[in-house]
Amino acid sequence: MFHRMKKRRRALSYAAAVGFAAISVGVFASGLGGKIAQTGAEVFSSSTLSFSRATTTDPVLPEKPAVTHLATPVPLRAIYMTQCAVGTPSFRKDLVGLIDGTELNAVVIDIKDYTGRLAFTPADPSLKASVSDACGARDMEAFIKELHDKNIYVIGRITVFQDPYYTALHPDLAVKRLSNKELNWKDHKGLSFIDVSAKPYWDYIIKIAKASYETGFDELNFDYIRFPSDGNMKDTFYTWNPGMEKSEALERFYIYLSKALKPSGAVISVDLFGMVTTNYDDLNIGQVLERAMPYFDFIDPMVYPSHYPTGFNGYKKVNEHPYDIVHFSLTHAVERTVATSTSVTALAFERIGTSTPAIYRKPSYPASQIRPWLQSFDYPVTYTPEMVSAQIKANTDAGLDSYLFWDPANKYRSLRQVLQTE
């Protein structure tokens, strides 16, 4: 029944769109006719001479229609599509079919992935050199329209400070090695990072975001908004605002990003480590849950059970506790989101009184601002349909109804089984 209702809503949306298009064409034709009628001849005369001169009006060409954007669905149910998958017809057809045939209603597509390169060619000519020559969809705008015609909400994922492409071009903006400040620091995978406080790079990210929104992406999702990890952290050196706390440096970027993008009407979201939901420190990467809340429409904690450390909350084998870990994490996230005060200092919060430890006044945000990433990939064990289903139940039991599923292989083997049995 759900599937039939979903198809009916899509049919109504399509019918409305067709009706609007017909009206628009009529209005344009009428306007064009008016312009054509103005083309004719002007007559000039004097007492001794008269002549006529043909006049022309520059042809009125139809402007490129503005892209449309879908409203964020409630609840939102999304899967992720890599940069290479979006450019591969078989993957594209398969994943669109999965969304179209189930309760899923959204897709997260890589705009800028871990390579630092872009998946499509933006209209902005200054970004064309950043386009990937390995993966991506050269017909991105047409593909987004196809998704919109199916009433599928489209989120564009932008990796931010992990960027080996841009650090190679602009080493002055990169995190450096303390042992040799002429060299860019790299993590265990050989990937380098932009220094979070390198403000010239902020404008580059905003340029990508604006170009993506103008291409038709409904929402802009920012990942790797953090300081680096997974490498020799003792050998990192930051040349931009080295004395600033990492959490403050990130919040200053949040402020800049939000002010630049909110006037466009774009919905913006941020991916944070799963443990930000339960930790109050910055995990040594600058991420603190409350410090992101004022600036994003949605916060997407990555509560993948496999990514929690051994012993988390007393669990020696975290992969045996997918429900417990997701429920524990999201319950705490909701509590912190709706709270009206916090012990977390932030540029946006005002201190209450002078008591110690300090308490700060914060707005109560809706619980729905929390929208988790869940796990449907095999690491380090096979993730079964039961494990996937347990995460969905944990999300529901925490009082939430939206979620996004991650599988870098784009297979979603277990998620398919769960959705097809519901």
Q: Which residues contact 63 (CB under 8 A, 6 or more apart)?
A: none
- pLDDT tens digit string along 23-34? 333 333 333 333
- pLDDT tens digit string along 42-62? 333 443 444 344 444 555 545
Task: Give the predicted TM-score (pTM) of the model.
Answer: 0.85
Instruction: Work out the pLDDT band at 66, boundaries 50, 70, 90.
Output: confident
Fold for the domain defined by 70-421: TIM Barrel (3.20.20)
pLDDT of residue 42: 38
- pLDDT tens digit string along 198-210? 999 999 999 999 9
pLDDT surpassing 50 at residue 421:
yes
Ramachandran bin of 250, using left for φ above 0, alpha for ψ from -120 to 50, beta for the remaining angles: alpha
81: exposed, middle or buried (Cβ count in 10 Å: 0-12, 13-18, 19+) = buried
Structure tokens at 117: 């390169």
297: exposed, middle or buried (Cβ count in 10 Å: 0-12, 13-18, 19+) = middle
pLDDT of residue 60: 54
pLDDT surpassing 90 at residue 63:
no
The residue count of the chain comes to: 422
CB atoms within 10 A of CB 234: 7
Pairing of β 360-361 and β 341-342: antiparallel
- pLDDT tens digit string along 155-193? 999 999 999 999 999 999 999 999 999 999 999 999 999
pLDDT of residue 47: 39
- pLDDT tens digit string along 102-120? 999 999 999 999 999 999 9
Q: How far apart (Å, rounded) are the C-alpha atoms in residues 220 and 212?
A: 8
